[in-house]
Structure 1
Amino acid sequence: MARPLRFRHSPQSWNLDRLHRDLLRPLDDGLGARCSRPWYRPAGGYDARRFDMDNGDTALFVWDDDEAYWLGNTETPSALWQTEKYTFDEVPYPVARWAQRELLAELREAEPWLADHPHLAWFFLPVFCSKDGSDSTREFFRDHAAGFPDATREEGRAFYESVLRSGVLDEYRYVMASKLGTSERFDHVRMSATMSEFTVAHLLTEAGYAITPEIEVTTGHSIDFRADRPDVNGEGLLVEVTRPLPPTRRAANTAVAAVRETAETKTTGQLREHGGGVTLLVDCSSFRDDEWAQVKGEQPGVRHRPAAVFRARPSGRIEAYSKGSLPLDLDRAVIWV
């Protein structure tokens, strides 16, 4: 799977003659390319150009007297093959700010609906503009309500815009955004499951916890989150997330069976190997109203304790029930049913 969009760094001297010879010419020969001045002028003494390919790909190039940075979702010219890659946070601020302004303007032009969701656009920019994942990730938010059933596309997007507006995941932007995927193939199930981690990040934050994603444990696995309370001493609580497929998308023909089977898969594998100390959160946000009504009416066990089974709605309402002695205090974030 291709990685999210990253800069290539060239620690060499560049000028316009070399740019046309080593970058534009091979791009034009292979894809058909045009070189032009960027839409925005970079700060910090850098000069820049943008490359627009006939197939719709885009690349940006910025340089000063000592170094250069390339960023693009197209073929990389051979002159830049043996270069190191860096995220937006790892390059000089003037370079990152300019490149993001350039790409966000292009993204809003291609996807006008993103103008109302600036935090969503910024956070997922590394995959919205990636080489292979741009179409699939944009489609997920544009046409599928970010995985919410019985909700409008705007409602689903607005929920995650509010989650990202808080900034609690900004530090982990590449880790979390890349989970959505950079694959050309659209996978509604996997993408919806990814958004469960964003929902749980919101839930834990609302409950008063500071969160750290992707906690490596001794079994070689990674647990989804560590949750720490500033007012409580200790090593923090480990939290794993799973999202059952609704009955309409799986062999289990009832919502209760779907919850039990999905949780069993998680508890007989990763959580059993870990040997305890992990709270399981089962996200039923893919369930329709009638399916969730069945689950919260029967409140089935999930073969793991402690656990909480919940369903979030784009309005921000989160209903839940628990099994076992839950070490997380979620009273501020959920409505217990």
Structure 2
Amino acid sequence: MQHLGGVVQNIYSCRTMINNWVEERAYRDEVLAKYLDTASRGDLKSVQVIKQLENILKPVELTEGKVLFPNDRMMIINHNTKPFMLACDPRYAVKEYDRGSRVSFTSDIAPIRRSVFTVVRAQDTAVSDQGILKYGKRLKYLFKDEELANYETKMSTMSANNMIGEDAPIRYGERIYIACNQEMIDESDRYKGCGQVVLGCVRTTNSSVIHTVIGDIGCLHKDAEFVIEPYHASVRLEMEGHPVLIDQPVVIRHCSTGHCIGTGDAFKPSPTDLEKPEVLCQCKSVLNQYKREDVPNLCTITMGYDEIAD
């Protein structure tokens, strides 16, 4: 501080010109330029944040129907203590798996981009029983040889009579990919240009937890394959190979690990900037006293409905 005629003056103020005043002015201009640049980048970041938020929250029209076909637009609802909707958020990476983004369940149920998925067959070949995980084979010790023989005959007959390609419905036990809304992916900063982004469950070396993520299908490979099975284990053998019906209780089983996705035996909060709280999607089969999947793994597949003719 300096006293000039009884007035205290701060010589380090940007208003004080001392010594080489040209350097002082240049320094002040540089500080001002950095401030304006930071402010403009902050405004740009705000615009990007708003744009990405609008991208994942845009409404999507669900496919109308009562049987699940490839590329149908659907929602997956989990029924634990209350309904939760499966939703993805490509804005947030998973720390343990940096090539994937967060998947959660939200109580805010609505057909929007982040919550509408499509089913894609894991094989592009003709539909046959080779692409089906046969429940009878996995639990062969529970059935007699004659029962398994009858089951194999039934499956072969169904495969011969089934249609081929996009005209064939998705069947219980058939390997599938659960793909994210492509329009959302195309407008996403993280996955723009990646192509198809699908749901997957991955194990990492630094964690014992199976993480449910969305990621590029080229990175996930077998970790992105699922099957849809009836929730009630007593009818799984009977329903194997039949078309998947909408709004029926099912479990969505991950092929590589054998676990089902759900809300888990204990909710794990998922940080979010949205209005409703969310819980993480867990790849973990919660079993009841009969060693069958319990309510935390109970899901339904929801679509639109066909209009009833007058």
Please indicate the TM-score interval, normalised by the length of the shorter structure: under 0.3
- TM-score, scaled relative to structure 1: 0.25
- TM-score, scaled relative to structure 2: 0.27
Identify, as 1 or 2, the structure richer in helix.
1
More contact order relative to length (CA 8 Å, sep ≥ 6):
2
Q: Which has the larger radius of gyration?
A: 2
Identify, as 1 or 2, the structure richer in strand.
2
